[in-house]
Amino acid sequence: MTGDIRNNTAKSRFELDADGHIAVSYYTVAGNVVTFKHTEVPKELEGRGIGSKLIKGALEQARAQGLKVVALCPFVKAYIGKHPEFADLLK
C-alpha cells in the first residue's frame, strides 16, 4: 500500500498522486526524529481517504527507517490517535 507514497527528500515531503493532483505532508528530520509539520490534500481529493493513505504510508516508511515521530501537524496527530498501532512511533 505504501508503494504509491513517495518520499520527496528534495522538498522534505511525502507525496501521493491521485487523479492528477498531489496530496503532500511536509516534514523535517533531525537525527532519528521526523517531525510532521503540515499536510495538504487538494479539495478535489477531500473525503476519499487520500490523506489517511498518505499518512499511513509515511508512518510505515518512518517505522521502516527506525525513526521516531513528532506530530505537529493536527492531521497526523489525529491519525495516530485513531490508529494506535502507530502510537509507539511517537517521541
pLDDT in tens, 68-89: 999 999 999 999 999 999 999 9
Domain span at residue 54 reads: 2-89
Q: How many domains does the chain have?
A: 1
Write down the pLDDT at residue 3: 52
Question: What CATH number did the domain enclosing 70 receive?
Answer: 3.40.630.30
CB-based contacts of 83-91 (< 8 A; 24+ apart in sequence)? 83/56, 86/59, 89/59, 89/62, 89/63, 91/33
User: What is the model's pLDDT at position 2?
Assistant: 45
The model's pLDDT over 12-27, given as tens digits with 9 standing for 90+, comes to 999 999 999 999 999 9
